[in-house]
Copies of this chain bind each other. A is one copy, B any other.
Amino acid sequence: MTTDQTSPATGVKPLRADARRNRARLLEVAEAVFTERGTGASTEEIAREAKVGIATVFRHFPTKEALLEAVLVRRLERLAEEGRRLMAETGPTYALFAFFDLVLDQSPVKNAFAAALADAGVDVRAATSEAGRALGEVLTVLLDGAQQAGVVRRDLGVPELTAILVGTCRMLEHLDGHPESAKRARAVVRDGLKARTGSPEEPLPQGGAPS
């Protein structure tokens, strides 16, 4: 809805029909392949799976990195979309947690890929910033709502929230195939996010051992 995924950008180019089809299919297939085999998957494999020649891949995405980027942006856009939907449908008290659950319920590999992008050393940050900012705005709304409703501690901002979400994804990867453990581990994070009801500063150890 936000940006037409089949056209490269707010258009300087009309792009032919088959080209549009191929581009869309490539994005689809690339996401699947990258999530399954990791970012190390070869462009040739993606081309084969998408039933196009290698040249076609590079025609649409001048470099492998660009393809990676495009896939990531697409995913971020979808997430922002879902966040907005949840906010509207679910209301401020539950929307943030619903969003967390939605992300975490996706297969671990699906989330793994997002993280895998980071260590690809890709300059994703720059190109992602636009989509990332949109998602950031959605998260801001979700977080604000939850904090206003008193269900999330107030010392958290969007950066912390994002990091916690990513970390939790990685956490669940390690518990794949053990749903009971995963449920308990998720409860830990969820409880940690909740507004502290007891004393604001508890006497638990912060530093390391007394040296």
Q: Which residues of A contact B (CB under 8 A)?
A: 38, 86, 89-90, 93-95, 97-98, 101-102, 105, 112, 115-116, 118-119, 121, 151, 153, 155-157, 159-160, 162-164, 166-175, 178, 181, 184-185, 187-194, 196-198, 202, 204-210
Do A189 and B189 touch across chains, with their CB atoms under 8 A apart?
Answer: yes
* Complex CA–CA separation, A191 to B153 (angstroms): 11
For A101, what are the chain B residues with a Cβ–Cβ distance below 8 Å? 205-208
**A191 to chain B: closest residue by CB:** B192
Identify 24 residue pairs between A and B in the complex whose beta-carbon atoms are under 8 Å apart, listed by A's number: A38-B119, A89-B209, A94-B209, A97-B204, A112-B119, A115-B170, A118-B173, A153-B188, A155-B184, A155-B187, A156-B184, A163-B171, A163-B172, A163-B174, A163-B181, A167-B170, A167-B185, A187-B192, A189-B189, A189-B192, A194-B202, A194-B204, A197-B198, A198-B198
> Cβ of A118: which chain B residues have Cβ within 8 Å of it?
173-174
- Residue from the list B97, B160, B204 in contact with A205, Cβ < 8 A: B97
A127 to B94 alpha-carbon distance, docked (Å): 44
> Contact between A191 and B191 (Cβ–Cβ < 8 Å)?
yes
A142 CB, nearest partner CB in chain B, Å: 12
Interface pair A156/B209, CB less than 8 Å apart: no
Rounded to whole angstroms, the CA-CA distance of A164 and B159 in the bound complex is: 19
| Chain B residues with CB under 8 A of A210 | 89-90
B-chain residues with CB within 8 Å of residue A94 when the two chains form the complex: 205, 209
Please name all residues of chain B whose beta carbon is closer than 8 Å to the beta carbon of A175 when the two chains form the complex: 159-160, 163
Partner of A189, one of B98, B153, B188, B197: B188
B171 pairs with A190, CB closer than 8 A: no
